[in-house]
Chain A
Amino acid sequence: MNPASALVVRDLSISFDSRHGSITAIDSISFQLAKGEILGIVGESGAGKSLTGNALIGLLQGPGRIAGGEILLDGQRIDNLPPEDQRKIRGKRIGAIFQDPLTSLDPLMSVGDQLVETIRTHLPLTATAARGRAMDLLAEVGIADPAKRFGQYPHQFSGGMRQRIVIALAIAAEPEVIVADEPTTALDVSIQAQILALLRRLARDRGTAIMLVTHDMGVIAEIADRVAVMYAGRLVEIGPVDEVLRAARHPYAAGLMGLIPSLARREARLPQIAGSMPRPGHWPQGCSFHPRCAQAGPRCSAEVPVLASVAASTVACHLFSGGTALPKGT
């Protein structure tokens, strides 16, 4: 294990128990986050990005549960801790930022009180000290005139401002890791850039590791250090952002990158990947992408590919580990 890793996820599986048995939604994914690193997680809706994020902050909603694997925070296993200990880690060591800043804050409590409440939950500070810290946090995330803004309520802030407050809440106890689930999706583009710059600064100045869940390639290109591509509950490719964006190896990842419209070429029709992603419980045998894959061979429908190193990236595709033909003797 890399000693500088803030967070290590090893063979994490998540399944949902239903009357018809257990359905696997995340199948044995592994990745790690170094201190100060921003890891982008991309994939279609339903690929399991948000589910992974929820598992990290210990907020999987029933009937979902961690079915296997482990999550290590700074070398210490956290996924099997009792709920009360997990709660103490939430907000203190792993912060979270959600998609919609308009609904993330309690509308009946002033933003200052929400900050003080969060700070005092995790740090042994007096009310006055917590108040001072809350002001500092507001200033840090770029809220002008914190003393005046402290007593105001969420509805008195714009969407971008509210997301700044959400970020202030997420970093209130200086967590080592932040899970940001689509933090800019609900914001307009100019505000997006400001929020991304703020996240970038947090990673650089505080050494906070950020796991950024998104389906916006522009966001990834702008601030991520590495990218992980998910498809149908599996990690199909993970590597440095330049490598993956410019030369993705996995056919799905490559297809996904090919979808980014470019101003340089004008097309009558925007490209798309034929077919749709299978829902959990309906994954095909073998590589779950093979029914949509132009390069699929007989082996792809028989055997689940495992992650293998290709240049600087790691890819789960038979094309890069022995070919798509069935091995002799089977």
Chain B
Amino acid sequence: MITLVLRRLGSVLLVMLIVAGLSFLIFNYLGDPVNNILGVNATLDERDELRRTLGLDQPSYIQFWHFLERAVVGDFGISYRNRVPVLELILSRLPATVELVVCATILALGVGIPMGVYCALRPKGFFSRLLQIIALIGISIPQFLIGMLLILIFSVELRWLSAFGRGDVVQFGWWSTGLLTETGRMALIMPVLTLAVFQISMIMRLVQGEMQEVMRADFIKFARARGLSDRSVHLRHALRNSLLPVVTVVGMQIGSLIAFAIVCEAVFQWPGLGLLILQAIEYADFPVMAAYLALVGFGFAMINLTVDMIYLFIDPRMRRK
């Protein structure tokens, strides 16, 4: 089991190295950093001077090594646009996105799994047919449209919720949270809903499909023949056996939620990483883009690692002595 964990860690390292390579390429070879920093009117001497200070006169592999050295300690350079260290910029935006994604995931799991279980147990009932239709709609509508519809209803028409921003936040060191203030919580509602609608629908359909499949398995029939209560048969045996694929998909979805919260953040002007990367792309702010890529890559790798660990926890067949 320990070797399995170590092997997974090894593959995470490999992935991170490749992602770092890509970030390095963006950082060094997309546009000319010297031009970007000094502008086009600098003299040749000034350029050579900066080139030496930045280490750009050295061979690529040494530059890559230095890039790695700096990346490990979180030094991704200075943002061209904001003139502050990239790490500082990212850390200031990270909490907003993490809060958004975590809330959306909790909502998606908390609503999607029970809905899926319900539909699996009563596939022909009126209510589950209704839920399935809603889920189909939820999967089909593009995210930005959901966001705009919500804004139209709750901000423009009803005037209940603010259409943009995070509301008031409370600061804990570098972490800022909107969960502790009334306006912060109110501001979370619509973006979280926007992000979660697709996830809820998908998780519901996934759980329903898997569970209906598992309910036909022999061990479920045998569990009934053992006289176990319906509750125990459904939740302890059928649901648990249905969750393996759900774990995989949810893991992948959380990763993409972080990355693709971009759309949602743009619609709600949510001051998170998504908005930051949009601005960075607009201004060709390569250090921010490189750091964002590395960070998202790291996030994905960590989530995959967690999923593998959860797999080991749930499924004894995966554990090898």
Q: Do A and B bind each other?
A: yes
Q: Is the C-beta of A59 less than 8 angstroms from some C-beta in chain B? A: yes
Chain A: interface residue count, which band?
Answer: 20 to 34
Which B residues from 217 to 234 make CB contacts under 8 A with A?
217-219, 221-230, 232
Contact of A118 among B221, B227, B241, B314 (CB under 8 A): B227
Chain A residues with CB below 8 A from B228, complex form: 91, 117-118, 121
Given contacts A105-B219, A108-B316, contact A96 B225 (CB under 8 A): yes
Chain A residues with CB below 8 A from B227, complex form: 87-92, 118, 121-122, 173
Chain B residues with CB below 8 A from A92, complex form: 227
Q: Mark A147-172, 1 if CB is under 8 A from B, else 0.
A: 00000010100000000001001101
Q: Is the interface of B mostly helix, strand, loop or mixed?
A: helix
Q: Is the C-beta of A106 less than 8 angstroms from some C-beta in chain B? A: yes
Contact of B217 among A103, A109, A172, A173 (CB under 8 A): A103
Cα separation A116 to B230 with both chains bound (whole Å): 17
Given contacts A107-B241, A109-B237, A155-B316, contact A90 B222 (CB under 8 A): no
Q: Please give the distance in Å from B1's CB to the nearest CB on chain A.
A: 14
Q: Please give the distance in Å from B31's CB to the nearest CB on chain A.
A: 53
Find out whether the CB atom of A166 lies under 8 angstroms from the CB atom of B314.
Answer: no
Chain B residues with CB below 8 A from A172, complex form: 226
Contact of B219 among A90, A96, A106, A117 (CB under 8 A): A106
Q: Is the C-beta of B240 less than 8 angstroms from some C-beta in chain A? A: yes
Q: Is the C-beta of B315 less than 8 angstroms from some C-beta in chain A? A: yes
Find out whether the CB atom of B226 lies under 8 angstroms from the CB atom of A103.
Answer: no
Q: Please give the distance in Å from A290's CB to the nearest CB on chain B.
A: 36
Contact of A121 among B222, B229, B237, B315 (CB under 8 A): B229
Q: Is the C-beta of A5 less than 8 angstroms from some C-beta in chain B? A: no
Given contacts A89-B227, A92-B227, A109-B237, contact A104 B232 (CB under 8 A): no
A121-B229, A153-B317 are known; give 16 further A-B pairs, CB within 8 A.
A88-B227, A89-B227, A90-B224, A98-B218, A98-B221, A103-B217, A106-B219, A106-B223, A108-B241, A110-B316, A117-B232, A118-B228, A122-B227, A153-B316, A169-B226, A172-B226
Chain A interface residues (CB < 8 Å from chain B): 57, 59, 87-92, 95-96, 98, 100, 103-110, 117-118, 121-122, 153, 155, 166, 169-170, 172-173
